[in-house]
Structure 1
Amino acid sequence: MKRIGVLGGGQLGTMLAGAIHDLGAEACIYEPEPAAPACARFREVVNAAWTDAEALGRFFASCEAVTYEMEHIDTRALKALDTTAKLFPNVHVLETAQDRALEKTFLQQAGLPHVAFAVARGRDELLQLAPSFGFPFIVKTIRGGYDGKGQAFVATAADLEPIVSKLAPDGVYLLEEAIDLALEASVIVGRSPRGEEAVFPVFENVHSEHILDLTVVPARIPPELSEKLQAIAIDAARALDVHGLLTTEFFVSRKPGRPTSRSVAVGDYHVYVNEFAPRPHNSGHVTRNACTASQYDVLARILLDVPVSSPALVGPGVFCMGNLLGDVWLAQGRRDLDLSSLRQFPEVIDVVLYGKRDAQPRRKMGHFVTHAPDADRAIQAAKAFRKNLLT
């Protein structure tokens, strides 16, 4: 039986491990936190720090291939192990996605669409660059941010000092043009070492307070825009030489950006790459119900050298994935979520609870999927179901 390693035991790693098992292989989890969801579900688990080179070395030696469920992994130990042959995607891809400055520079050098940006090395340089860069802009730490963490919107010069005063004096920061968004979208691409490519349908994403709230597929955009987003996502995966999964997140605007930005125009739309995730993605949960193969299935096939092809939607209608945050558990005041209202919502076709022990505000604890003849009804059903859980 082949052994496939997964770095990280959260919800993404758990669902990937299930897909690996479905193909007759053993999923082995490396996770520093013993209470992580995958640690309670799978037999082969190593609980050790990301910096524990000895434990990582034994883990890699025991697996035919290894992947990861998140970018926030210390790569120094991975590089010391020379993981080139076993890690999917490789360390170079991981390091590029970890660092917002490297990511933007890659987009620029590869000729891929991107917003105007500048890199400030230290708080003083940020203050000096800001007036010439121009307001409004978004300031971001180059590492560690997700779900809106590590970033702030700077509308005017008057806002700058209070925001910068909270930053570390010697940090490295990204100044990024603020786009007038029409919508956000993502495309997941899988690539195998044999050159096979799989591209998923375009996902339309709606965020609330910087956290993904709803994902709609098929996206409510013109076909030519869908085709262009998929083509850019494939180009990015090829340029990075990804073997595994690459999620490309897009900003789509109806207005052109600054002269120093690089957009792709499609009809009345202007497209920019926001960022990459070289792993399964939160927006891709919906593929378990909406597509002939899920994002987890495709990655499992790549890791196990099983042929892959582009998934298709399973049928007509629209699917909508909604996140379930810890706020729902806290509102119900109970450890086990009360799902008795499901009988009132036939549009809800799937509910997945991740098994995290502690509910916290804004923490992703589960998701659900609705299916309806059109997008409005799928979205309305998702909002109504979640509102019911909160009351």
Structure 2
Amino acid sequence: MSRMVSPGDTIGIIGGGQLGRMMATAAKQMGYRIAVLEPTEDSPCGQVADIVIEAAYDDLEGAKKLAEVADVITYEFENIDEETANWLAEQTDFPQGSKVLGTTQHRLKEKEAIQSLGIPVAPFHAIVSIEDVEEAATKIGFPAVLKTCRGGYDGKGQRVVKDEKELRQAAEELIKHGECVLEAWIPFSLELSVIVTRSRNGETAVFPVSENEHRDNILFRSHVPARIDDAVCERAKEMALKIVTGLDVVGTLAVELFMLKDGRLYANELAPRPHNSGHYTIEACKTSQFEQHIRAVCGLPLGSTELWSPVVMENILGEDLEAVLQSISRLDDVKLHLYGKKEAKVKRKMGHLTATADSIEEACEKIESLQRVNVL
């Protein structure tokens, strides 16, 4: 797979959201042209692309149109139709392939794949029908988390259950969307993530570990470097490298981890693409996760992941946007990123703020000072 896609060529991106937008911006800075496949008009990525193909993600004809104009194809989210992914892998330069997509689209397969590499995951049990509830409850115990195997993000498609009655009620609802997986509740003290990249030539690079804070199951804030022991940090990076190599990933992979009080780590979820918790890399690293992804799928040498300075990234949700827009003059010491989405819905990610400083505490203070004057 040692092919190089040169600047001036066209990169096709499936998905027109903010990840595609930032990927496209990084690629255009390097001299590439961008074609995007996206069903909605005036999408975040479409606003900065050279070519826009308006088609559904499961529209094979749309994918064929993208293939006609693109020299290499990548994606900004993993829920691509299986038939389309297989066709792209067979007929186009689609270095990420369809195998990893098939694994990460399905939570049960994903956990089995991670476990097969000798990496700890929460104990789990498949629930294919209501008849599986009793056995799953006995094996996993409570509290636990019931998740749909397909779809769902930011807490969607999952329920925390405290006893068999709650599990049965949740299963009756979620099983309508397909098979589910019941996971034991992990009493974590911190949520971490590692962004790791593997190029089509086999080169790997790992970004600094991010310490993440969630609110209402949505990423609220990322702190980098994570405030954890060096030994735990190295184990987290080693786990990410083992996964990206063991699953033969090409491109960027986000590995979400739970850390227990004693420093033990459990892999939680994977995302085979740039990730919200890696947005800090735009300002704080020598190479951003988006540029690194473009380098990886195009066969260029990977860039340095060195951290320039401590950094805090905080998401801007729909309910925060108006206050941010009314207070632009106060954003002199933080970086503002807005994604170009038309409608500011509650809990919808509309942008993010990034603050760098000499310490995490100082970076947090820059963000929190904005909250005190009602910017957020």
TM-score (norm 1): 0.89
1:301-320 superposed matches below 5 A? 301-315=295-309, 318-320=310-312
Q: Which residue identity is paired with 2:366? A: A
Q: Which residue identity is paired with 1:367? A: H
In structure 1, the gaps of 5 or more residues are 255-267
Aligned to 1:126: 133
Provide the rounded CA distance (Å) in 2 between the counterparts of 1:288 and 1:25: 18
Q: Which piece of structure 1 moves more, 70-79 or 224-233?
A: 70-79
Aligned to 2:4: none
Shift of 1:59: 1.1
1:328-347 superposed matches below 5 A? 328-329=320-321, 332=323, 337-342=325-330, 347=333
1:1-391 superposed matches below 5 A? 1-83=8-90, 86-169=93-176, 171-254=178-261, 268-315=262-309, 318-329=310-321, 332=323, 337-342=325-330, 347-348=333-334, 350-386=335-371, 388-389=373-374
TM-score (norm 2): 0.93
Asked whether the 8 Å contact 1:347–1:378 carries over to 2, the reply is: no
Q: Which piece of structure 1 moves more, 167-176 or 188-197?
A: 167-176
How many equivalent residue pairs? 369
* Structure 1 ranges of 4+ moved more than 6 A: none
Asked whether the 8 Å contact 1:124–1:169 carries over to 2, the reply is: no
- 1:323 aligned counterpart, secondary structure: strand
Provide the rounded CA distance (Å) in 2 between the counterparts of 1:102 and 1:72: 14
In structure 2, the gaps of 5 or more residues are 1-7
What is the aligned-residue identity percentage?
A: 37
Distance 1:208 1:83, change over 3 A: farther
- 1:186 aligned counterpart, secondary structure: strand
Aligned to 1:262: none
Shift of 1:304: 2.6
Distance 1:108 1:247, change over 3 A: same
For residues 10-52 of structure 1, give each alpha carbon's deviation from its aligned partner in whole angstroms, at most 9, with x where no partner exists: 1110010011111111111111111311222222111111222
Asked whether the 8 Å contact 2:14–2:76 carries over to 1, the reply is: yes
Provide the rounded CA distance (Å) in 2 between the counterparts of 1:183 and 1:85: 41
Distance 1:23 1:160, change over 3 A: same
Q: Which residue identity is paired with 1:22? A: Q
Provide the rounded CA distance (Å) in 2 between the counterparts of 1:286 and 1:202: 11
Provide the rounded CA distance (Å) in 1 between the counterparts of 2:54 and 2:371: 34
For residues 109-133 of structure 1, give each alpha carbon's deviation from its aligned partner in whole angstroms, at most 9, with x where no partner exists: 2212211111110233224421332
Provide the rounded CA distance (Å) in 1 between the counterparts of 2:121 and 2:58: 33
Provide the rounded CA distance (Å) in 1 between the counterparts of 2:73 and 2:300: 15
Shift of 1:184: 0.8
